Amino acid sequence: MPETLSELAQLDELVAEIMAEWRIPGLAMAVVRRNEAPLLRSWGVRDIDTGAPVTSDTVFPICSVTKSFTATALALLVDEGRLDWDMPVREVLPEFTLRDPVATEQASLRDLLTHRTGLPRHDRVHTGGHLDNAGMLAALRHLEPSKPFRSTWQYNNLMYLVAGLVLERISGERWEDFVRTRILLPLGMERATTSLEDMLARHPDCAKPHAVLDGEQRRIPVRPINTRPGGGICASIAEMAEYMRFHLDPVAGRGGLRLSPAAAAELMTPQVYIDRSEFTEVGDRHYGFGFNVVHYRGARRIDHGGGWSGYNCDLRLLPDHGSGVMVLTNGHDPGCAALTNTALDHLLGLEPLPWLDRLRGIRRLFRDTPPKHRAAREAMRHRDTRPSHALADYAHEYAHPAYGTVGSPAMATHCAGRGSVSTSRWRIAITTSSRLPPSRQRGSRTGPCSSRPVSKAISRAWRCRWSRRWRRSYSAACRRRRWQPATSSSR
């Protein structure tokens, strides 16, 4: 283990390679250890258009690391005797309704925080921006579960929104106000905001989002995160260092903020099994309340990552060793783990593993795979066929009670003479009647001109938009319905 954190300062070469590989414009890092001043470093620019540098005070979105703030806020209410982890949600929010009646009656705060309600992501509900908090809560009854209640871990941002609404109902305060007065201000996080909109309004010098489009790194618009209790907080790396130091010993606390031993243990106790990591140094992964819980090279590690359009971050703590690291970036592709894992190796006093080479190899393999899949799909196409209807017949607006409206009648003109129906950044390729069973061909009530299969396929496409894993699920669903997503280079 390094005698002082200053020994970790010589990371410039590694950081330069990471930023070049993952095309990251700016990066900030904090390394903390109990009873020492934090090590704060920054590299690159917060905005490629202005060239302004990243500093330790540059504000970044911390995205899903926000979930641990929400869990910590709820722990404060539990300590005050105003809430119980296993209290049914409907005792606080009678309007809370899921499609599964058993989950509706029995789902507790513990179920919400550990992602075990049976619902998959359904991100289109909140990324569309068409619903406010009450609307998203009401939309839950229309969302289909993919697993039995309490059977498995399935990440879901909407459940953290519900947890935030529970906090509001019990405390009588907005989630934003409670988190600011009870957590941010006691820790000295005065520049932190509870939404990306507030970040832009209060800090024009904040980190701007970037992505690689058509091979060129560009600044992209800031997109709001509508499930704020699950991803809305923005803070500087200097402020996040104080947050990490608090969670290294939440019972002792900092700035008057502290948790009881029982509440602190609940946050970092394995509550539900996730999976086994592909890396043997990590092994089995579990989820606590707003934190992942794993063992890394024999040490208990508490962590959570975060990602949004043009931003990525990673927080990792070694509570038993009293140390931790966090990285904030304004690049769309995640490359934080190569740096955070290397820093943990140094903090543990172990020979650093080749994390950069490992993760770079995985990234390049993943990058090279889509063209192969597109070529395979192209080879499987049935050529010299035509749809059973004119493409304009398929171009309509399709509505889902939770996902909202997708498509436009104007698409009829756009797709005339083309082989696909455009829906913003997705296209649904029309399967010809020669490949459809008789019940789905021309003249059938359930034929391809019926809105139901098309609408569901489009809804699935929107839900998958920001997740590669869900794209694979969508493609499988399309094959079952004999609808195929056309190739697209957009995320």
Classified as helix, coil or strand, 179 is: helix
Q: Would you report the helix, strand and coil content of the chain in percent, each value rounded to 5?
A: 40, 20, 40
Q: d(Cα 300, Cα 318) in Å, to the nearest integer?
A: 6
Q: What is the pLDDT of residues 322-378, one digit of tens each?
A: 999 999 999 998 889 999 999 999 999 999 999 999 999 888 877 777 777 778 888
Q: Are 27 and 19 in contact (CB under 8 A)?
A: yes
Better-predicted residue by pLDDT, 99 or 377: 99
Residue 91 pLDDT exceeds 80: yes
Residue 474 pLDDT exceeds 50: no
Mean pLDDT taken over the chain: 84
Mean pLDDT to the nearest integer, 276-285: 94
Q: Cβ atoms within 10 A of the Cβ of 188, count?
A: 14
For the chain, give every domain's residue range. 5-75+166-365, 381-485
Region for 153 from its dihedrals, namely left if φ exceeds 0, alpha if ψ lies in -120 to 50, beta otherwise: beta
Q: Tell me how long the chain is.
A: 491
Mean pLDDT to the nearest integer, 96-124: 97
Mean pLDDT to the nearest integer, 169-190: 98
Q: Looking at residue 363, what is its pLDDT?
A: 82
Better-predicted residue by pLDDT, 356 or 483: 356
Residue 233: closest CA among 191, 292, 186, 172? 191
Highest average pLDDT, of 164-168, 252-256, 378-382, 414-418, comes from: 164-168
> What is the model's pTM?
0.82
* 408: confidence class by pLDDT, cuts 50, 70, 90: low
Reply yes or no on domain 5-75+166-365 having CATH 2.60.120.380. Answer: no
Q: Looking at residue 2, what is its pLDDT?
A: 61
